[in-house]
């Protein structure tokens, strides 16, 4: 057993969708969450910058003595995971593979859409891994950069969100996809809006649950689950505004957890 916390990070509030799934799947685990709200979005930045920010967060997680880190950010996972795993001896889990698994389980027609940030789409990771796992699959990808600021602003179900979704999703929906993978952890907060625009014939795939299952499989395989009679502690840190964070926590987790603002060295 290993009673140290699990570290989870994202560029902002989006990773809370993964943290919520981890809390549900692994209810005895302690969690330290970091959201880089001062520097969000990562999706419009270069690979070098995304990796620099991700390394600073990894260093912080190491100082906090976490037992593993879940990169709850597709942008960081698709641009920096290889380098981070080479640099740090800590177990690190990314979110691309869980997304691929969830999408493959959902599709019947093998015609899928992937929406994500510009940097994730540019990396080509989703397309590459979907095609490697299922040759012949048709993958239509689209970067949706305005979705992240909408979510950070809390505009998840108004007319602006719906119009934006219609504009972004129009051409991939015309391809006749049966599944749409949410390749950014912010996007599940727009779930209702995206489902409405996509219509009932399209499965909206949120990889968060599969990401939590992958973490549980890893902890079981390595005998690292927390075993304790005391309730787990959750700690949330952000690099900027704490009030928006609290509002999103309420929305995603049903509890308005307080976050502490910190500066990364």
Nearer to ligand DGL, 209 or 226 (CB): 209
Local structure of residue 33 (DSSP, 8 states): E
Nearest-angstrom CA–CA distance, 239 and 186? 17
The residue count of the chain comes to 265
Active site residue 144: no
The one catalytic residue among 73, 103, 193, 249: 73
Tell the smallest beta-carbon distance from residue 148 to ligand DGL (Å): 4
Enumerate helices (H) and strands (E) in the chain, giving the number of each: 11, 10
The label of the residue with tokens 């979110």 reads 95
Tell the smallest beta-carbon distance from residue 50 to ligand DGL (Å): 9
Tell the smallest beta-carbon distance from residue 75 to ligand DGL (Å): 4
Neighbours of 39 (CB within 10 A): 16
Nearer to ligand DGL, 114 or 184 (CB): 184
Nearer to ligand DGL, 107 or 185 (CB): 185
Nearer to ligand DGL, 112 or 226 (CB): 112
The one catalytic residue among 103, 144, 184, 249: 184
Nearer to ligand DGL, 207 or 226 (CB): 207
Closest residue to ligand DGL, Cβ-based? 43
Query: Which residue in 262, 141, 189 sits closest to 17, CA to CA?
Result: 189
Tell the smallest beta-carbon distance from residue 17 to ligand DGL (Å): 9
Q: Which residues sit at the interface with ligand DGL, rule CB under 6 A?
A: 10-12, 14, 40-43, 73-75, 117, 120, 148, 184-186
Tell the smallest beta-carbon distance from residue 38 to ligand DGL (Å): 12
Query: In 3-state terms, the chain is what percent helix, strand and coil (to 5)?
Result: 50, 15, 35
Cα four-point dihedral sign 116, 67, 255, 229: positive
Contacts with 217 (C-beta within 8 Å, 6 or more apart), sequence order: none
Burial 9-22 (b: 16+ CB within 10 A, else e): bbbbbbbbbbbbbb
Neighbours of 87 (CB within 10 A): 14
Active site residue 73: yes
| Active site members | 73, 184
């Amino acid at each position: 057993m290993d009673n140290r916390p699990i570290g989870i990070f994202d560029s902002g509030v989006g990773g809370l969708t993964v943290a919520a799934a981890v809390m549900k799947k692994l209810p005895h685990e302690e969690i330290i969450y970091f959201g880089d709200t001062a520097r969000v979005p990562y999706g419009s930045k270069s690979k070098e910058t995304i990796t620099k920010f991700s390394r600073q967060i990894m260093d912080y997680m190491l100082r906090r003595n976490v037992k593993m880190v879940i990169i709850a950010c597709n942008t960081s996972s698709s641009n920096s995971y290889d380098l981070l795993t080479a640099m740090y001896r800590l177990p690190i889990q990314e979110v691309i593979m869980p997304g691929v698994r969830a999408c493959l389980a959902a599709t019947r027609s093998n015609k899928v859409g992937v929406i994500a940030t510009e940097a994730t789409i540019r990396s080509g990771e989703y397309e590459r891994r979907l095609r490697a796992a299922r040759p012949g699959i048709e993958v239509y990808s689209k970067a949706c950069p305005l979705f992240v600021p909408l979510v950070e602003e809390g505009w998840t179900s108004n007319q602006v969100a719906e119009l934006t979704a219609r504009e972004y999703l129009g051409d991939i929906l015309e391809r006749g996809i049966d599944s749409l993978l949410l390749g950014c952890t912010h996007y599940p907060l727009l779930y209702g809006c995206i489902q409405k625009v996509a219509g009932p014939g399209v499965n909206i795939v949120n990889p968060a649950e599969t990401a939590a299952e992958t973490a549980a499989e890893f902890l079981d395989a390595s005998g690292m689950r927390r075993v304790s009679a005391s309730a787990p502690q959750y700690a949330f840190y952000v690099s900027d505004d704490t009030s928006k964070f609290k509002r999103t926590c309420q929305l995603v987790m049903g509890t308005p957890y307080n976050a502490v603002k910190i500066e990364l060295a």
